[in-house]
Amino acid sequence: MPAQRPGPKRSLLVQERSRDTRRAIVKAALDLWAQRGYETGIDETTAEEIAARAGISKATFYFHFARKEDILLETGWLTARVAYEDARRELAGNHAVDEVLAELMAGIGRRVEKVPRVAVRRMLAAQNVGDVCHQPEDGARFGFERAFAAVFAHAQETGGLPGHPAARSLALMLTSLVMDAIRDWALADPADLCDVLRERAALLLAGARNLPVARPAAQ
């Protein structure tokens, strides 16, 4: 008898259930950490406690998150996914790229500023450790570049930006500027994160529009 392949419906259901479990774990962990204070709570909370709070077995916990750090990373990915959905919605509204990016930056800034700085520092540290040696499959750096690349590509297609530098290249640059601003904020920079992010995006756009033609490379 050939092995039965799950149909697309069943597979979707499994995916959905898995996503709900992951969210329950993340929520349980964040609740416990916040209760105990992020400064020491992350280290003091055990996998068992998080699993119990989420109403699942320890085995299920480890199936989804090999290390506690992976929960922190998941919150980062969620922020990136929300940014991507925001970007798509903004693009559908046919606003100028400057407005779209300003909104996107404000959204990211507001979301990050809600998280305690110490938790953001831990999240960035968790991300950094894996970052250089093992790039995650869906792109490093929280995946903001997917949202940004969509915005820049749309702007280039509709004449809102010159075709060079490439959208992907601009997206990578903006990602590093954004991640760096988030890091400075997490290290107690007193500046308003939304303002910093908006100015950086504006500077990048102004740069892309006014980049002088490249001189031939020195021989």
Contact residues for a second copy (CB under 8 A)? 106, 121, 124-125, 128-129, 131-133, 135, 165, 172-173, 175-177, 179-180, 183-184, 186-187, 192, 194-195, 198-200, 202-212, 214, 217-218
Shortest separation between residue 174's beta carbon and a second copy, angstroms? 10
At residue 31, what are phi and psi to the nearest 5 degrees? -60, -50
| 211: its two tokens | 């980049």
The number of CA neighbours under 13 Å toward the Cβ of 210 is: 6
Shortest separation between residue 5's beta carbon and a second copy, angstroms? 35
What is the spatial distance between Cα 117 and Cα 28, in angstroms, rounded to a whole number? 19
Shortest separation between residue 108's beta carbon and a second copy, angstroms? 14
Q: Give how far the C-alpha of residue 177 lies from the chain's centroid of Cα atoms, to the nearest Å.
A: 13
| 192: its two tokens | 């308003």
What is the spatial distance between Cα 132 and Cα 186, in angstroms, rounded to a whole number? 20
What is the spatial distance between Cα 181 and Cα 193, in angstroms, rounded to a whole number? 7
Shortest separation between residue 73's beta carbon and a second copy, angstroms? 13
What is the spatial distance between Cα 43 and Cα 150, in angstroms, rounded to a whole number? 38
Shortest separation between residue 127's beta carbon and a second copy, angstroms? 9
Amino acid at 127: Q
Shortest separation between residue 142's beta carbon and a second copy, angstroms? 13
Give whichever of 44 and 192 is closer to a second copy, judged by the CB atom.
192
| 50: its two tokens | 């998080």
Which residue blocks in 6-96 are alpha helix, DSSP H?
A: 8-36, 38-44, 47-54, 58-64, 68-92
